[in-house]
Structure 1
């Protein structure tokens, strides 16, 4: 992969083939992202090489506070191959390969302890105790909040048995969230303003992310998606899907083909999140609430979250982005994602020269959209936003046409 990135970044011809036809703002962002990707991969390689030579400082630093990476580092420090560790445990080498490939995300606590003991290391056990056993001490969750999330969970098919008592159902929800926190941490940053807000103890947001993650894990297990940062040619195809009535559903398939999992899950009452982008191991996930059921909002939100993936794969996606796209105050990551979405949908140079910005009637706007091969709703939405007049063209933004493509019936968990 490093050689492939080196080739792309050093060859003008190869680079042009990667970003051909994109607006300049998007090209600049992709170049920054590929440069970062190359740098981070080189650091991983150097850390591994140093560890093989007996110097472990860099690889310990790369592991950070990840308990799964901690076991991988411990194995390398002990000088054991995956096959040798498997033999010590009485397992097949493939078991260790699979666990390490997903950084031990699916391993049970007892097996984690067994491997740690075999390697002669110990992770702080308070980090490994299921949150369901310490939830009351870690989170200040009111009864109203618990009841609100429970109602949402039952309405949207989160629970296998909706006839359970409230007490049993809440215990199940707490276990879901606790398991999620153990494996992935908390969505600690809600990047909607200049002062990034800590939402690590936002029970609704955390419950929502845990459910989105559970759905994404099912897709990942079935489809084995592989995201390649160097491949961005499909972005133009994604934008063109907006022309079609079922474009949102088609977008889900196209994203999966290119290594990204899209999950739609309605917002829990009180949340103010349009979309999210985060990682499950190496797989990018986009979660969308469809809070505003319009075509223009769907495509801008989707491209905004895809922008986080393309631009910030190594610089923030592991922590995650949880976005209110209507926020008036944004940090630099959100500015970049906004510019990416705007430019991919309507290139800035084209927009700045177009008379449709001041159009009073629908016809020239629809012709402009047809020329760009995008949904007219996107252009109408852009005009409404720029003029700060949400009364105009209110019947042109595809209101009420997106949610029904995803939320036709209550889903039951597998």
Structure 2
């Protein structure tokens, strides 16, 4: 899904044309593309080029659908919106060659009301007003009742009460629900309904990429519960701040890496990402979850979830950069399905290889790493000097050395243990 869900006005069409022109210019020469991502590793150029090529194609298709709809041919636009009821009303308006002001006049309302409703894709409109709009546009909707077992996702049949209680305990500890006083049975039912509603709307994460192999986790109750909570937290931010993500905007990546040098860098990273249309949610791992981080879409907005199950600076920054790499490189080629990662295992496929390489190069460029004496250092001074040269946290380099040497007994006091969780979750104790 593109960052612009549907083109419905001439102004949006003009903005889209300008965006397509920018992407075309960026793709026209390496020099232009490099100027956009100045200072980033060479790997970023090819990855971002692929992402922008896909983005340009999808935006062009959306613009074409709008132009055809203006001429009375809404087939392509209907194909793009699927069964979304709000978008279908917008298509119906375009099919009649009405502007927003024409629909407002028909309804006896201000044009701003239509603008607001359509910007929200009719998500917050009352049922009464929704039906008035539909009648004004000569749109008829029909509904078909389905038994509850067909209409919604159900937990796997082998889900034990112990598993439900494990997630419920985590939910209580981490304040998932405002009402903590309801009885145990009510909370269990509410939790199952909560996860079911999430899966019905967003589907299940079909694959969990652990690095050892690719597993089918579409029925993983614990993972689904965690993703549902991360999504709910992200939705609140997206709705309240009207975020927009632009794949062409990548100049902030180098700044993100340098935030690691600051004591409050993780918090500053969360703010910087949100400024550029990416939501970072910290949600502790539920016992039994082998996930460090995840990246997926909520509507068209990239969401990164981190569990902080390893409370250390080196793990935080590499995991964050790994998930950011998925957003930058795979926005159009996998992010809709989502990535759920255990970053300490070896790479499993080309997506994870690209994300690991991108994250590593962004923090410590490979051309520098391959020739620095810090790589083989047995004392901390050369490593700290390299970190100062790169303006990043020394913990990142110490962590990389531990990983590459497969020796986790060295520099164990240099990776910033116990410094991240307290920034985000100062009042929550370990379970």
Partner of 2:364: 346
Partner of 1:119: 139
Partner of 1:386: 404
Partner of 2:215: 197
Q: Is this contact kept in 1: 2:174–2:428, CA < 8 A?
A: yes
TM-score of the aligned structures, taking structure 2 as reference length: 0.84
Partner of 1:315: 333
Partner of 1:155: 173
Q: Deviations over 1:163-199 (max 9, x none)?
A: 2111111232233223323433332332335864332
What residue ranges of structure 2 are gaps of 5+ in the alignment?
A: 1-18
Q: Within 1, Cα distance between the matches of 2:160 and 2:111? A: 46
1:291 and 2:291 matched? no
Say which of 365, 378, 393 aligns to 1:360: 378
Which deviates further from its counterpart, 111-120 or 22-31? Answer: 111-120
Q: Is this contact kept in 2: 1:132–1:178, CA < 8 A?
A: no
Which deviates further from its counterpart, 171-180 or 243-252? Answer: 171-180
Which deviates further from its counterpart, 19-28 or 91-100? Answer: 91-100
Change beyond 3 A, Cα 1:201–1:109: farther
Say which of 275, 290, 304 aligns to 2:322: 304
1:303 positional shift: 0.6
1:159 positional shift: 1.3
1:107 positional shift: 6.5
Partner of 1:209: 227
Say which of 398, 404, 407 aligns to 2:422: 404
Partner of 1:245: 263
Q: CA RMSD in A?
A: 3.1
Say which of 291, 299, 312 aligns to 1:273: 291
Q: Deviations over 1:357-409 (max 9, x none)?
A: 21111111111111111111111111111111111111111111111111112
Which deviates further from its counterpart, 267-276 or 221-230? Answer: 221-230
Q: Within 2, Cα distance between the matches of 1:376 and 1:341? A: 16
1:174 and 2:174 matched? no
Q: Is this contact kept in 1: 2:153–2:197, CA < 8 A?
A: no
Change beyond 3 A, Cα 1:143–1:100: farther
Q: Within 2, Cα distance between the matches of 1:382 and 1:132? A: 49
Q: Is this contact kept in 1: 2:153–2:199, CA < 8 A?
A: no
Q: Is this contact kept in 2: 1:82–1:93, CA < 8 A?
A: yes
Partner of 1:16: 34
Q: Is this contact kept in 2: 1:139–1:201, CA < 8 A?
A: no
Q: Is this contact kept in 2: 1:19–1:232, CA < 8 A?
A: yes
Partner of 1:6: 24
Change beyond 3 A, Cα 1:66–1:245: same
Q: Deviations over 1:108-163 (max 9, x none)?
A: 8898788778622447665xx98998554776532112111110000001111212
1:184 and 2:177 matched? no
Which deviates further from its counterpart, 377-386 or 214-223? Answer: 214-223
Change beyond 3 A, Cα 1:206–1:131: farther
Q: Is this contact kept in 2: 1:194–1:331, CA < 8 A?
A: no
Change beyond 3 A, Cα 1:110–1:316: farther
Secondary structure of the corresponding residue to residue 119 of structure 1 = coil
What residue ranges of structure 1 are gaps of 5+ in the alignment?
A: none
Secondary structure of the corresponding residue to residue 380 of structure 1 = helix
Which deviates further from its counterpart, 4-13 or 285-294? Answer: 4-13
1:8 positional shift: 2.5
1:206 positional shift: 1.5
Q: Is this contact kept in 1: 2:257–2:392, CA < 8 A?
A: yes
Partner of 1:395: 413
Secondary structure of the corresponding residue to residue 294 of structure 2 = strand
Aligned residues between the structures? 409
Secondary structure of the corresponding residue to residue 243 of structure 2 = coil
Q: Within 2, Cα distance between the matches of 1:113 and 1:142? A: 43
Q: Deviations over 1:276-333 (max 9, x none)?
A: 1122222221111111111111001101111111111222222222222123242222
Which deviates further from its counterpart, 354-363 or 292-301? Answer: 354-363
1:255 and 2:273 matched? yes
Change beyond 3 A, Cα 1:380–1:161: same
